[in-house]
Structure 1
Amino acid sequence: MSQTPITGIVFDKDGTLFDFNATWGAWAGRLIRELAADDPSRYDALCSVLGYDPAAQAFEEGSIVIAETVQTVSGAILPHLPAGTDRASLIAQMNALAADVPQISAAPLRAFMADLSARGLRLGVATNDAEAPARAHLSRAGVLEQFDFVAGYDSGYGGKPAPGQLQAFCDRFALAPASCVMVGDSLHDLHAGRALGMWTVGVLTGPAPRAALTPHADVVLHSIADLPAWLDQVATR
């Protein structure tokens, strides 16, 4: 990686800005209970297809929920629901629940974002969530206005691991990809960043372990709280 000064940072949302299991464990539990409708066999099937442990309120490492879009997740759920269940209605239900999920920040976000803004960086979010609930989550955390760019899977640029969202971010602000950083907790995030030639930073606030992220990242940090110190190190190389 060349030592081009960093001018922009794109963050994944779930598992990166917000702790994944602390945030989405409750969402999955509520969704599964609503969809199972007191049918124990359906409840077990939904837990299995979502890779969700209801006792721990946590996801397995390979859960489809971790990095896929709501389109993909809904497609996996649909065969386990009553015949004739409407997919568009299912997606609307999933998005409505997602918009109401209490987000557990991976770091004190207002102070964190103020630090990055003071550095003169362009800041974006690229998520495989839909854009509307993503904006709701950022707004509730009090940081929506500090982001220059927010893209969901449905914003017209595709979803990760394809790099369309990241390309749109670079194009919007005329930034060279080599001067930008992709920060995320999943291989989808890191693959998208690498595909465009960005710096890639992994964080451990999602289900993926360090060993899975390390081969695809320039650095793996415990959380975004460690990012400012890493930026300082890069700037002095």
Structure 2
Amino acid sequence: MIDGLLFDKDGTLFDFRLSWGGWAAGFLTSVARDEAHATRMAQAIGYDLAARDFAPDSPVIAGTAAQIAVSLLPELPGYTLDDLTDLINDTAGTAPMAEAVPLRPLLTGLRERGMRLGVATNDSEAPARRHLQAHGITGLFDYIVGYDSGHGAKPGPGMCLGFLHAFGLPPGRTAMVGDSLHDLHAGRAAGMRTIAVLTGVAAAATLAPHADVVLPDIGAIPGWLAQLPG
């Protein structure tokens, strides 16, 4: 009953806290004048420097690099918005990502079922591709887009609609897989089924009203597929 799966990247393919907690601490330290300045910038993006954790409304979770830059810009008057966005993208592209589950065997198994697989992230496309390449999984995806790829950002449906149109996939036989409300709202707006996972920051109670199913991680997808009729 499912012909295609479109994955969010951060918090879905990769565990969010493990992947981005360290990046945020390193980035803020590198641009801060002192510890107090780093703390103010951390507060601006909903990040706890001591705990290396994010508030549920942090723009780092589901926002774009430009949105993160907008939050930080008042604390960094020496930067333009474009310069700060570029710096975020450059450093994000080298951030080490922690796989939520072993990705290559999971994705290979899904492809062997004849499924189309894609990635739709509010990250920029270039660093997203670097993350996938670092884990040797770029070639397992038929479609990879970021917020700057021409389809708009989530929660808008553009990236999801692009996936459907690229391969002629029926929305009802395609699922958007993500860890945030942005992901689920984008999928629903495109008429797709929605799968929520708990490898991000959002709780199951927050995601459940907007998802067809809530799974602990994407490793549970094959089991869920096996229970579908047909």
Q: Distance between the aligned counterparts of 2:45 and 2:133, measured in 1?
A: 27
State how 1:16-95 maps to structure 2 within 5 Å. Answer: 16-38=12-34, 40-81=35-76, 83-95=77-89
Aligned AA for 1:187? L
Q: Which runs of 4+ in 1 moved over 6 A?
A: none
- Equivalent position of 2:213 in the other structure: 219
Q: Deviations over 1:15-62 (max 9, x none)?
A: 000000000001100111112132x33212111011111122111122
In structure 2, the partner of 1:136 is 130
> What amino acid maps onto 2:16 in structure 1?
F
The total of aligned residue pairs comes to: 230
> 1:205 matched to which residue of 2?
199
Q: Establish whether residue 158 from structure 1 lines up as the match of residue 159 from structure 2.
A: no
The one-letter code sitting in structure 2 at the alignment partner of 1:98 is A
Aligned residue for 1:13, secondary structure, equals coil
- 3-state DSSP of counterpart to 2:62: coil
Is there any run of 5+ residues in structure 2 with no aligned partner, and where?
A: none
Q: 1:107 to 1:235 in 2, by over 3 A?
A: farther
How far did 1:135 drift? 0.5
> Quick one: which amino acid aligns to residue 171 of structure 1?
H
Could you report, residue by residue, the CA deviation over 1:165-199 in whole angstroms, capped at 9, with x for unpaired residues? 01001111011111100000000000001111111
Q: Secondary structure at the match of 1:170?
A: helix
Aligned-pair CA distance for 1:85 = 1.5
Letter in 1 for 2:143: F
- Deviation of 1:91 after TM superposition, in Å, equals 1.2
- What residue identity is the alignment partner of 1:134? A
- What SS is found at the alignment partner of 1:124? strand
Say which is worse superposed, 162-171 or 46-55, in terms of deviation. Answer: 46-55
Q: Under a length normalisation based on structure 1, what TM-score does the superposition of the two structures give?
A: 0.95
AA of the residue aligned to 1:72: Q
- Residues 93-129 of structure 1, C-alpha deviations (whole Å, 9 max, x = no match): 1111111111100010010011100000000000000
Structure 2: which amino acid aligns with 1:6?
Answer: I
Report the Cα offset of residue 229 of structure 1.
0.5
Give me the TM-score of the superposition, normalised by structure 2.
Answer: 0.98
1:216 corresponds to which letter in structure 2?
Answer: H
Q: Structure 1 residue 124 and structure 2 residue 79: aligned? A: no
Aligned-partner Cα distance in 1 for 2:67–2:96:
23
Deviation at residue 86 of structure 1 after TM alignment: 1.8
Contact 2:39/2:49 (<8 A) preserved: no
Cα distance in 1 for residues equivalent to 2:229 and 2:151: 31
Matches of 1:50 and 1:27, distance apart in 2:
13
Q: For 1:84 and 1:34, how far apart are their aligned partners in 2?
A: 14
